[in-house]
Amino acid sequence: MFRQIFDTNNPLKTALAALLLALSALPGTVSAQNLVSRADQLDAYHARRDSLIDFYAHNVKADDLTRGGYIDIASKLYRGIDMDWVEARLDSLMQDPRGDMFWMYPFITVTYVGRDKLSDTYKKKMRDMWRTYMPYRGDTENHWAMYYTAMYLITQMYPDEPGEAWFNGKSSRENHEEAREYLIEWMDIATTIGQGEYDSPDYFGVFVLPMAQLYAWAEDPEMQRRGRMMLEWILADFAVENLHGLYTGAHSRTYPPQVKEQWKVTSTSFAWLIFGNTPFYPTGYAAILAYSGFELPEIIYHIGTDRSQPYVHREKKRTRHRIRYSDVKNAPVYKYTYMRPEYSIGSSQGGLLQPIQQHTWDITWDVDDPRGKHNTFFTIHPYSSPTELGMYFAEHLGMITELVVRSKTTYDSWDKWTGGSPYEQVFQHKDVVISLTDIPEGQKFPHFDGLFSKDLSAREDDASGWIFAQGGDAMIACYPLAPYEWMQEEDGTWRMHSKSLKNGAVVQVAPASQFESFEAFKKAVRALPLQTKTSPKAQVSFTTLAGEKLQFAYDDTPTVNGTPVDYNNWPLFEGPFLNAEVGSRKLTMSYGQLRRVLDFNTLTITDSVVE
């Protein structure tokens, strides 16, 4: 059982662990459930780090010259083994460079990991690749983060060379300055109005890896510190919304298979590496973090692993850059996550927040082993429109959908499970989500769907209009606002399919421990005051199991006990663990009495223990 990693009896537990134990009993604090000492954390981390590097170092046998990528090469270099194979594979791969920034990040990794181990001949060959191969800079922030980090580091290694020595004709100094300027600009935006490609289980790695590379290899102390701080910022952002390794809640970008099987995704590999709270899932992205020498601060480790107490966490993020069909370049994204030991519910407000791959909200319930499990529930209005794509991509509208479908194959499918809709609005308060739609006539996919997983232990249509379900220790009640039908998919998923345009669902979740039985849960939900309408627009008035009255109508501001939700003052981070004000460039992490402040205004990291 992978969670037994935490059940250590190592006698080297530090005094701090004992302090945390004491703090856990204090009112108003999240308890320090995982009593793992710093020494044990690091021992376990080092073991995982070494095993990941070993995995790639031995991924290809030394007599097999037919396969092996740059991460395999870097890992063998890191271990100092199979040098003949390393050079042969480098020769082979360098004959046919491809991948643009996806070539740059592993290539710069090999360059730095191998700088003291490769012969001058190979260093020279590798250096020349930066003259002869022109990588595309790309069109989005993860592309640019990888591109400019690689440019920063390679021009750091070769600092005084003229434009003729580089693929883009710029001198080392010009390239270095441009890269530095872009990276600082991106960090500034991310720490003031939020990250653009936010909280993506898939794209998480392509932001972590460039920051890990800066931390590991930037020689300028300021840039090295920026890399470290941004790395911590992103990892803390993940830590607070992961439930035993799964990146829960709303995401900017994810893929259809991963929205069901949430474990099988890049962020899992990082959770395994830094938290040890999920089964081994190797990726090259995580391997780069492993090479970097980075050690996770203790406080982030605790934030990422302590699920002993429920909490509400809010964040403000922003959309990817909008280039047309919008009055704002970066629209705000209001994220809300309610985390419990048994499950996590997370949402954004709906609408078009990211192209193609948006995941607006979901429930993720805890399972002992997430491999192969679809431990999730959510609803969606599947939307497809050239206008949405044109908002973010500079292609003509006539061809834009076809171009997108080449790589995002389900974008234009009626039964897709990812993507945002301008006709879907979502409101969450703790463990209740209300999703409403107002789909105009003539839309390509005029329906509203709900995903009922193959791994639910119960799914019942109730005469009251509620659908009751249970996944793990999460009891789920879903009240569709309009008639629906059931459709089953090949993988066992049940699709709640409704063709009403003014539509929606009320979803109340509760932990199984709060009820004597599933029947008791159903009875309690049936008794809750609930009023819904779909004309003239979808609207809901609902009193939750906790006795709070929620009201939400399409296009109106939702209220909690009569008080409107204040979106104008939504924080950059707010919760028991992470806090930051919009525009502040300053993140305060808290766990018990531990504090750690990342301040990009002063480029300082401050640790303290509050009295």
Partner 1 sequence: MKKLILSVTIGALAVALLNGSTLLAQQKAKLYAGLSNSKGYVVGAKLSPSGLHVFEGDTTWRLIGWKHPRISAVAFDPNDHNMIYLAGGNGCLKSKDGGKSWKITTNWEVTESQSICVDPNAPQNVYISTAYGIWRSKDYGETWNASNNGLPKKYTQLVTADHRKAGRLFAATEGGIFVTTNGGDSWQLAGAKGIESHDIQQSVKNPQIWIAGTETKGVFHSQDNGKTWQEIGGNASESPIYAVAIDPFNTQNMAAAGWNSGVLISRDGGKSWKNYREGLPVDDFYSITFDANEPGHLWVATIEEGIFRSADFGKSWEFKGMYGSLVFDLVFY
Pick out residues in 319-348 that bind partner 1 (CB under 8 A): 321, 323-325
H-helix or E-strand spanning residue 475: strand 474-480
Residue 258 and residue 202 in contact, taking contact as beta carbons nearer than 8 Å: yes
How near is the Cβ of 608 to partner 1 at its closest, in Å?
Answer: 37
User: Across the strands, what pairs with 591?
Assistant: 594
Q: Percent helix, strand and coil across the chain, each rounded to 5?
A: 35, 20, 45
- Contact set for partner 1, span 109-128 (CB under 8 A): none
Q: Restricting to residues 374-403, name those near partner 1 by CB under 8 A.
A: 394, 396-399, 403
Over the window 180 to 199, marking each residue x when it contacts partner 1 by CB under 8 A and - when it does not, the resulting string is -xx--x--------------
User: Quick check: 280 binds partner 1 (CB under 8 A)?
Assistant: no
Contact characters 80-99, partner 1, x per CB under 8 A = ----------------x-xx
Closest distance between partner 1 and the C-beta of residue 106, in Å?
Answer: 12
Restricted to residues 139-158, the positions that interact with partner 1 (CB under 8 A) are: 139, 143-144, 148
Nearer to partner 1, 67 or 371 (CB): 67
In the complex with partner 1, the residue whose CB is nearer, 138 or 279, is 138
Shortest Cβ distance from residue 455 to partner 1 (Å)? 32
Q: Answer whether the bond into residue 536 is a cis peptide, omega within 30°.
A: yes
Q: Which is nearer to partner 1, 100 or 220 (CB)?
A: 100
Query: Is 36 in contact with 4 (CB distance < 8 Å)?
Result: no
230-256 b/e (C-beta count within 10 Å ≥ 16 → b)? bbbbbbbbbbbbbbbbbbbbbbbbbbb
Q: Closest approach of Cβ 395 to partner 1, in Å?
A: 9
Kindly tell me which of 22 and 134 has the beta carbon lying closer to partner 1: 134
Q: Interacting stretch for partner 1, rule CB under 8 A, among 55-63, 162-170, 284-292, 533-541? A: 162-170
Least spacing, CB of residue 555 vs partner 1, in Å: 24
- Sorted by sequence, the CB contacts under 8 Å of residue 448 that are 6+ apart come out as 379, 380, 381, 437, 439, 482, 498, 500, 503, 504, 505
Per CB under 8 A, does 163 bind partner 1? yes
Minimum Å gap between C-beta 137 and partner 1 is 5
What's phi and psi for 189, nearest 5 deg?
A: -65, -45
Query: Any contact of residue 102 with partner 1 (CB under 8 A)?
Result: yes
For the chain, the residue count is 611
Buried b (16+ CB within 10 A) or exposed e, 479-510: bbbbebeeeeeeeebbbbebebbbbbbbbbbb
Distance (Å, rounded) from C-alpha 142 to C-alpha 136? 13
> Does residue 168 belong to the site contacting partner 1 (CB under 8 A)?
yes
Residues in 403-462 that interact with partner 1 by CB under 8 A: 403, 406-407
161 binds partner 1 (CB under 8 A): no
- Burial label for 402, CB within 10 Å (0-12, 13-18, 19+), is exposed
Question: Nearest approach, Cβ of 126 to partner 1 (angstroms)?
Answer: 19
Q: Which is nearer to partner 1, 163 or 351 (CB)?
A: 163
Give the interface size with partner 1 as a residue count (CB under 8 A): 37
CB distance 363 to 431 below 8 Å: no
**Shortest reach from residue 407's CB to partner 1, in Å:** 4
Residue 474 C-beta: closest distance to partner 1, Å? 37
Q: DSSP characters for 108-164?
A: HHHHHHTTTTS-HHHHHHHHHHHHH------SSHHHHHHHHHHHHHHHHHSTT--GG
Summarize as ranges the residues that interact with partner 1 (CB under 8 A): 96, 98-103, 134, 136-139, 143-144, 148, 163-164, 167-170, 178, 181-182, 185, 321, 323-325, 394, 396-399, 403, 406-407
